Amino acid sequence: MEPLCRLQAMSPPGSHSGSVSARTPWWAAQWLADGQDGEALREMAALNSRDVWDIRDLLPAVLAELGADPLPGTVEAAATVFQNLAADCLAGRLDERAVAQQVEAVVLTCDYASEILDLPLGQLYGLDDEWQGGWGATVEELRKTVRARCADQLASPRPGLAVDEHTGTTA
């Protein structure tokens, strides 16, 4: 999956003006103003926010010039988003319906990748339709399902982390 998809998966759903494609040239200009420099960074800063393909193509070079860590893979990025959603839900900072809606946005953004659908929260894909349509499970059952998948998400090892076969802990 392309880096742009990975970063958009971490953006709030429906927020084009705050999305990576719209804001990245502005960020590049800010980094230049702060004293960072590089050929790809200057090229990025000169782009229009509508130059989505050019932004996508330049992003890895810009990050390398800035010494930033490489972007996580799609599954790792989605798992990070899902971990945060699960923690926020179980801590009472995010309601269950919002979790279902945000899971839907991540799955759509990442083109229904089966590896993401296989994650505990990925299994909630489609639940928002049931919630909105009022068919199937009751609202209380839907909430219970979301909370159970949140607990599973927090209990499962994150993709990309090695699991010690003797202790069951991540390295």
Residues β-bridged to residue 170 = 163
Mean pLDDT by 10 residues, the chain (171 residues): 42 42 83 92 90 84 82 83 95 96 92 93 95 92 98 85 46 41
pLDDT of residue 20: 58
pLDDT of residue 71: 65
pLDDT of residue 98: 96
* Residue linked to tokens 């599973």: 152
pLDDT of residue 169: 45
pLDDT of residue 21: 63
pLDDT of residue 77: 86
Structure tokens at 8: 């958009």
pLDDT of residue 59: 84
pLDDT of residue 15: 38
pLDDT of residue 9: 42
The Cα 9–Cα 80 span in angstroms is 10
Structure tokens at 88: 């926020």
b/e map 78-89, b = 16+ CB within 10 Å: bbbbbbebbebb
154 close to 90: Cβ distance less than 8 angstroms: yes
Give the residue among 62, 73, 67, 64 at the shortest CA–CA distance from 5. 73
Q: DSSP per residue over the chain, as a string?
A: --HHHHHHTTSPTT-GGGSHHHHHHHHHHHHHHTT---HHHHHHHTS-TT-HHHHHHHHHHHHHHTTPPPPPPHHHHHHHHHHHHHHHHHTTSS-HHHHHHHHHHHHHHTTT-HHHHTSTTGGGTTHHHHHHHT-SS-HHHHHHHHHHHHHHHHHSPPTT--B-TTT--B-
Q: What are the sequence ranges of the domains in the chain?
A: 3-65, 74-155
